[in-house]
Amino acid sequence: MNKVRIIISFFLFLFFFPHLLLSKGQEKDSIVVVINNIRVIGNKITKNHIIFRELPFHAGDTISRRVLSNKLLSAKQNLLNTSLFNFVMVDTVPLHENMLNIFITVNERWYTWPVPIFEFQERNFNDWWERRDLSRANYGFTLNQYNFRGRKEELGLYAQAGYTVKYGISYDVPYLSRKQTSGMGFSFSYARNHEIPYMTIDNKQQFFKDPNVFIRKELVGRLKYYYRRNIQNSHYFEVKFVSAQIDDTVRAITIDYFPNNTGALQYFALDYSFTRDFRNSKQYPLKGYLLDFEVIKLGIGVLNKEKVDITNFFLTAKGYVQVANRIYCSSGFKTKISSTVNHPYYVQKGLGWRDYIRGYEYYVIDGGRYALAKAGLKYEIIKPHIKNVPLPLNKFNTFHYALYFGLYGDMGYVEDRLYAGANPLANSLLAGYGVGVDYVTYYDIVLRLECSMNKMNELGFFIHFNAGI
């Protein structure tokens, strides 16, 4: 536990120190104005009430000029964070000294994406690049309709073959009530595999393959409920049903893929999370903070075949601050605490999946409990620019881009009381650091090129497609 305290102390220092340096008193502004009217321009598909839902002000509000300036910026950031628009402009037009109108101009994205699927099965691009095995690719077709009916609804259909044969459908309605505070959604998928990982040795996944038999079959259904009373705070509830089967050949080479070495597993799971999000951008934040708490209960005792009973708790905190002109500091912390150390391999995930230490992209550190801290310092090489290109579609002929150079350092610790003897990275303090370049552009595209070093003095070049923290 002393190593976990080191990670927590590392994060707390990096989270609070920049804010203490920048804390300054602000002068009060007693000059107030009245918002007479709010007009939206450019929304050919998106309904007005979807846009008004993201605004921190309303027509008729009386507000100080300084507070209004901050709220205008928040309105722009909130609308961009919906992922419905490429560009947003929020302008004021004074009517007289103490009254004004607000004009919001949006450039809508392309919402219908019938695109072919070609992706690799690996945990990340770098893991696939180490093998360069095209047989581990998935291919097929997906149809996504974003902003369905202009109400921010999402409808998705997909069918794929290759490494994982999978079919699915999903539908999300974010706003059901008149106050636009609650929504629902569902998804259903069925997948089959000829090859699966069945254990981890030397922090590397071991795979078993039978080209003539689907050795794993999975059926997953989800029912979701959202509650978002205001812009920054949101609640998420999910009920999930999982039915999975493995072939007897898998049972012969492992004893803990499913509980009690059974050939099938069925269970219900409950998921609840609360998120408080004050980041200026969800895709590539530079200012603000995020707090998230999540609890997942695997197995709720309603099925006779439920052989899993695990409760996982997750806590995430991230902070972002501008410390000087073109210089930004960020830090993040995440921990997972589980009710038991006896996790079947099918549901066990530590670091190396969605959460990872930079410099360890090739490794999997399994375990039911972990702590992870990240820190970064960025220099803005190219400020966000807008570029016009000669294309006939106005949803693509204007794009923005920015470029950042960064330094970073990560620390992590995974507790594994079952198989640490075969996986030396477990139960030890891990650290990675390096330098990188981030390219950020429209449609939420982020390309990170990083050169990292881990505690084994292994130097590697890695590619990622999301923000590092």
Rounded Cα distance, 58 and 61, in Å: 6
What number is the average pLDDT over the span 431-442?
92
Query: What pTM does this model have?
Result: 0.80
The pLDDT value recorded for residue 351 is 93
Rounded Cα distance, 3 and 355, in Å: 18
What number is the average pLDDT over the span 252-256?
87
Tokens standing for residue 85 = 């628009």
In the three-class reduction of DSSP (H, G, I as helix; E, B as strand; rest coil), residue 8 is classed as helix
Tokens standing for residue 430 = 């891990």
Beta strands in 43-152 (DSSP E): 62-64, 85-96, 99-108, 112-120, 137-148
Rounded Cα distance, 394 and 55, in Å: 25
Tokens standing for residue 23 = 């804390």
Q: What percent of the chain has pLDDT over 70?
A: 89
Asked if 446 and 467 count as a contact pair (C-beta separation under 8 A), the reply is yes
What CA dihedral angle connects 132, 134, 138 and 144, to 10 degrees? Answer: 70
What number is the average pLDDT over the span 332-344?
90
Tell me the residue type at 121.
Answer: Q
Can you list the pairs that 308-313 forms with residues at least 24 positions away whose Cβ atoms lie under 8 Å?
Answer: 308/259, 308/265, 308/267, 308/344, 308/347, 309/340, 310/338, 310/339, 310/340, 310/343, 310/347, 310/368, 311/338, 311/339, 312/336, 312/337, 312/338, 312/339, 312/368, 313/337, 313/338
Tokens standing for residue 407 = 């330094």
The enclosing H or E element of 5 equals helix 2-22
Say yes or no to pLDDT of 289 above 80: yes
What number is the average pLDDT over the span 112-141?
73
**Local structure of residue 338 (DSSP, 8 states):** E
In the three-class reduction of DSSP (H, G, I as helix; E, B as strand; rest coil), residue 433 is classed as strand
Q: Which residue do the tokens 């499913």 mark?
A: 258
Using one digit for the tens of pLDDT, what is the confidence trace for 355-391?
A: 999 999 999 998 889 999 999 999 999 988 877 766 6
Rounded Cα distance, 168 and 162, in Å: 15
Identify any residues that bridge with 187 across adjacent strands, giving them in sequence order.
Answer: 170, 222
The enclosing H or E element of 17 equals helix 2-22
Say yes or no to pLDDT of 11 above 70: no
**Local structure of residue 105 (DSSP, 8 states):** E
Query: Counting beta carbons within 10 angstroms of the beta carbon of residue 25, is it exposed (0 to 12), middle (13 to 18) or buried (19 or more)?
Result: exposed
Mean pLDDT of the chain: 86
Nearest alpha carbon to residue 238 among 260, 216, 220, 251: 220
Rounded Cα distance, 225 and 272, in Å: 10
Query: Counting beta carbons within 10 angstroms of the beta carbon of residue 274, is it exposed (0 to 12), middle (13 to 18) or buried (19 or more)?
Result: middle
Sign of CA dihedral 45, 46, 49, 55: negative
Say yes or no to pLDDT of 172 above 50: yes
CATH numbers and ranges of domains, the chain: 31-108 (3.10.20.310), 112-464 (2.40.160.50)
Residue 312 binned pLDDT confidence (cut-offs 50, 70, 90):
very high
Q: How far is CA 270 from the centre of its chain?
A: 19
Asked if 175 and 189 count as a contact pair (C-beta separation under 8 A), the reply is no
The pLDDT value recorded for residue 25 is 46
Nearest alpha carbon to residue 82 among 115, 109, 44: 109
The pLDDT value recorded for residue 115 is 65
Q: How far is CA 339 from the centre of its chain?
A: 24
Using one digit for the tens of pLDDT, what is the confidence trace for 21-37?
A: 555 544 445 688 899 99
Tell me the residue type at 434.
Answer: G
First to last CA, the chain: 24
What number is the average pLDDT over the span 421-449?
90
Using one digit for the tens of pLDDT, what is the confidence trace for 133-167?
A: 777 777 777 778 888 888 888 888 888 888 888 99
Backbone angles phi, psi at 120, to 5 degrees: -100, 150
Say yes or no to pLDDT of 111 above 90: no
Tokens standing for residue 320 = 């972002």
Rounded Cα distance, 206 and 199, in Å: 5
> Distance of CA 216 to CAs 119, 135, 164, 185, Å?
20, 17, 10, 27
Nearest alpha carbon to residue 432 among 407, 452, 462, 448: 452
DSSP assignment string, 272-303? EEEEEE--S-SSS--SEEEEEEEEEEE--S-S
The pLDDT value recorded for residue 21 is 52
The pLDDT value recorded for residue 27 is 47
Tokens standing for residue 142 = 């997906």
- Of 187-191, 289-293, 366-370, 382-386, which gets the smallest average pLDDT? 382-386
